[in-house]
Amino acid sequence: MNAVILGIGSALPKKCVSNDELPSSLNTSDEWIVSRTGVKQRYVACDGETTASLAVEASAKALLMAKIAPADVDLIVLATVTGDYSFPSTATIVQRNLGIEKAVAFDVGAACSGFIYALDIADSRIRLGKSRCALVIGAETFSRLLDWSDRSTCVLFGDGAGAMVLGAADSPCGVQSCMVYSDGVGIDHLKTSGGISTTQTAGVVEMNGREVFRFAVEKFTESLEELLRLHHMTVDDIDLIVPHQANIRIVEKLMERFNIPREKVLVTIHKHANTSAASIPLSLAELGAGIFSKKNVVLLSVGAGFTWGAALLRFEPSAQPEDNIYEKKR
């Protein structure tokens, strides 16, 4: 049994802030931010917009594309480090707000690698026969975890959510493999300045940008090599690579190392900035139903911890949502 992708959706806060609209007190510039990171703008949650509200909107769109009723969802895995509350989980808030009465719902915290971690859990449960229809969500309101006077971090991040619907199907398509790793050696390079058990506050983002950059390039490279080796593939066999959107220069290093043509890499950092766990599904959702025309899609992530991961998704170009495999197999 494979976990096939049936739908994808995304949500962004209403407010978009361009580099030029950042406070002048930051003493930064559009030129510096674009040339060092690729970021041109970010979306910032306003009053009433939360990680859960963005996750609900993204999930509702994904379910609509998948033609799946909320009642059919039996698993919700939500990747976030900016949940609405310490508890209950943001996944259960999504569950209630979508009217899903009975499911397994929980959050996963793996920072920017959270979506691939969540995908790995959903894929494993579907393969084991423990779940049949999963909502896998990456959702963040990182703007609320930033020190808005620290120009070295606050210009990099944004808010948003992306969701994917997976269904169990006897099909060669779907999640082909998911690899997730972590190494606690990185804990001091990217972290918050506080936490519930230490300072009783959420803290703000602190980062050793250079070290994170070096590690991200190394792990993107290792992960892609491992995935290609595992599947006896070359870059030519890949239709699309969707990397975590942290810095365009990290992505360019990967393209150089593997000689990957630009059109094979999905880049949305200029629009969304780094939305942590939401970054990969938010990018993927930009393609809408166009995702079904890509046969082999690779996801790559690196995040705080350090955590990293890669996944290979396979789509059947003929299996549009109108004709989805899950419906036929039920």
For ligand ACO, the binding residue among 97, 124, 152, 296 (CB under 6 A) is 152
Annotate each residue in 100-129 with x if it binds ligand ACO (CB under 6 A) or - if it does not, as one string. -----------xx-----------------
For ligand ACO, the binding residue among 42, 151, 219, 271 (CB under 6 A) is 151
Q: Which stretch binds ligand ACO (CB under 6 A): 26-34, 59-67, 97-105, 177-185?
A: 26-34
**Between 88 and 109, whose beta carbon lies closer to ligand ACO?**
109
For ligand ACO, the binding residue among 155, 164, 267, 269 (CB under 6 A) is 155
210 contacts ligand ACO (rule: CB under 6 A): yes
164 contacts ligand ACO (rule: CB under 6 A): no
Q: Considering the candidates 154, 178, 189, 244, report the single residue annotated as catalytic.
A: 244
**Between 12 and 111, whose beta carbon lies closer to ligand ACO?**
111
For ligand ACO, the binding residue among 276, 278, 283, 325 (CB under 6 A) is 276
Give CA–CA dist 21/30, Å, rounded: 9
Indicate if 112 belongs to the active site.
Answer: yes
Q: How far is the CB of 210 from ligand ACO (least distance, A)?
A: 5
Reduce the secondary structure of the chain to three states and give it as a string. CEEEEEEEEEECCCEEEEHHHCCHHHCCCHHHHHHHHCCCEEEECCCCCCHHHHHHHHHHHHHHHHCCCHHHCCEEEEECCCCCCCCCCHHHHHHHHHCCCCCEEEEECCHHHHHHHHHHHHHHHHHHCCCCEEEEEEEEEHHHHCCCCCHHHHCCECEEEEEEEEEEECCCCEEEEEEEEECHHHCCCEEECCCCCCCCCCCCEEECHHHHHHHHHHHHHHHHHHHHHHCCCCHHHCCEEEECCCCHHHHHHHHHHHCCCHHHECCCHHHHCECHHHHHHHHHHCCHHHHHHCCEEEEEEEECCCEEEEEEEECCCCCCHHHCHHHHHC
For ligand ACO, the binding residue among 75, 136, 137, 216 (CB under 6 A) is 216
Indicate if 244 belongs to the active site.
Answer: yes
20 contacts ligand ACO (rule: CB under 6 A): no
Q: Which stretch binds ligand ACO (CB under 6 A): 27-35, 47-55, 82-90, 234-242?
A: 27-35
Residues with catalytic function:
112, 244, 274
Residue ranges that bind ligand ACO, judged by CB under 6 A: 28, 32-33, 36-37, 111-112, 151-152, 155, 190, 209-210, 212-213, 216, 246-247, 274, 276, 303-304
